[in-house]
Structure 1
Amino acid sequence: MDLPRSFTIRESGHRVHNPFTEEQLALLGRAIGLRPGMRVLDLACGSGEMLCTWSRAHGVGGTGVDISTVFLAAARARADELGVADDVRFVHADASGFVAEEPVDVAACLGATWIGDGVPGTLGLLRRSLRPGGLLLVGEPYWAELPPDEETARACDVPTRDTYPPLDGLLESFGPLGYDVVEMVLAEPAGWDRYVAAQWLTTRRWLDANSRDPMAPELRAGLDTAPVRHARYRRRYLGWGVFALMAR
């Protein structure tokens, strides 16, 4: 049980596995009013940067869950580095079936709503671990500018134009699901650049050291086209944000 190897190779140098900068991750923690003693559940936590840095900055504790053994090893090392290993724990499990043993103050899934087959199912899963009055955090793409055709959507690594709504449509969708939007922090182009461009350097260094690996041709082909596709398509059309919700 693990993530595809190609994904973990490209993002093995990342501490944040989404288009947020470290500063935006810190801003999100301040925006939602974290306080000492709060408990946070982070499903599909990646390398644990959110939970570890929030624990150090705000005195929160909690649990991160991920399917990647590579990322979880990095998360535990980060917890040791920041001196919060006694306050946070990381669990190797399929996040799509994980429910906290005790209700938490904040339940989050940033950029992996596939664990619930989309936003509605992911919110339902998160809510099973949330105390009454707690906060849900969901990170999700949206169209910053609607692509003119399906080819452009695919160039953004999105299956179809219907996969994501524009920002106002995404915000509007939370109400019928029974939630108020109470905060949001949106990624910026510089965050997309850091997230995507860092993959190129990691990939190139991996290729230099592993030229005979069976996966090398696939990663080589991706690196050949990724910078131009990012500049021409994804940077323009695709947005991403984290939305804080409370049940009505």
Structure 2
Amino acid sequence: MDRQRISRLAHAHHPIAAPLSDGSVARLLDRALAGQEAGRALDLGCGEGAWLLRALAARPAWRAVGVDLDAAALTRARETATALGVERRIGLHHRDARDFTAPEPFDLVLCVGATHAFDGLLPTLAAARELLAPGGRLLVGEGYWEREPSRAALDGLGAAPEDFADLATTTDRVLADGWTPVYGHVSTAREWDDYEFSWTGSLAGWALDHPDHPDAAAAREAADRHRADWLHGYRATLGFVTYLLRRD
């Protein structure tokens, strides 16, 4: 199975591709959209458009653009937008987020759980800077080390120690790059566990429901491998922080 299909199946019951509860998503969006009745939002690595669709449903005068490489996820986003009646206020682009440009800047740029598309946090900040309007806001989610990673944690994530830093150092890097956190959320252990059990459970459940499908065995294997990597590797080691940032 290709990684995009695995991700779609795994996120069937947790459409936000990050360890965030519905309440946390709502609070982050409320702060990101606060004080601005109308505006333009951009999600770099939007997947099925969950962040943008929530924003449009809550703010009738906002418009949005989503960019992603997963054509099937974008199709789902269009279908959901139509069901919500917001399809005329969203544009979806099937392309690499690193290559995306726009004639006008955006009031809000989002990249939550997708900084790997830019090879890390600082390149993501640089890309967002070019697309953000003066006074605009950036909502970005990134991993960090809650403790020194073990070899099992690194192997489970396919990561190197330098891929992340601790929360203080990560925040210092954001500040040094000219951004100011005006809000933020550190995902809780409960949010992480819910996310991982939902991810692996949705994928394994699909395999059980479709035993004769050619991809069933691969889906079950991916779910079992991911669960083991998490429980025996990076659980309580990898954290996740979502910043709401403004430029100085």
What is the TM-score when the length of structure 2 is the normalising length? 0.88
Number of corresponding residues: 244
Which stretch of structure 1 is more off in the superposition, 65-74 or 198-207?
A: 198-207
Aligned to 2:30: 30
Following TM superposition, by how much is the alpha carbon of 1:14 offset from its aligned partner in structure 2, in angstroms? 3.7
Aligned to 2:183: 183
For residues 183-212 of structure 1, the C-alpha deviation after alignment (integer angstroms, 9 at most, x for no partner) is 112222222223221222322233231545
Contact 2:57-2:86 at 8 Å conserved across structures: yes
Within 1, Cα distance between the matches of 2:63 and 2:213? 43
Within 2, Cα distance between the matches of 1:33 and 1:114? 25
Which residue identity does 1:18 align to in structure 2? A
Aligned to 1:171: 171
Contact 1:48-1:72 at 8 Å conserved across structures: yes
Aligned to 1:42: 43
For residues 162-221 of structure 1, the C-alpha deviation after alignment (integer angstroms, 9 at most, x for no partner) is 2111111100101221222221122222222232212223222332315452x5444333
Percentage of matched positions with identical amino acids: 28
Which residue identity does 1:53 align to in structure 2? R
Backbone CA RMSD of aligned residues = 2.2
Change (3 A) 1:5 1:56: closer
The counterpart of 1:74, out of the listed 68, 73, 76, is: 76
What is the TM-score when the length of structure 1 is the normalising length? 0.88
Following TM superposition, by how much is the alpha carbon of 1:32 offset from its aligned partner in structure 2, in angstroms? 2.6
Does 2:54 match 1:53?
A: yes
Within 1, Cα distance between the matches of 2:69 and 2:63? 20
Contact 1:66-1:92 at 8 Å conserved across structures: yes
Contact 1:49-1:78 at 8 Å conserved across structures: no
Change (3 A) 1:224 1:175: closer
Within 1, Cα distance between the matches of 2:120 and 2:180? 18
Unaligned runs of 5+ in 2: none
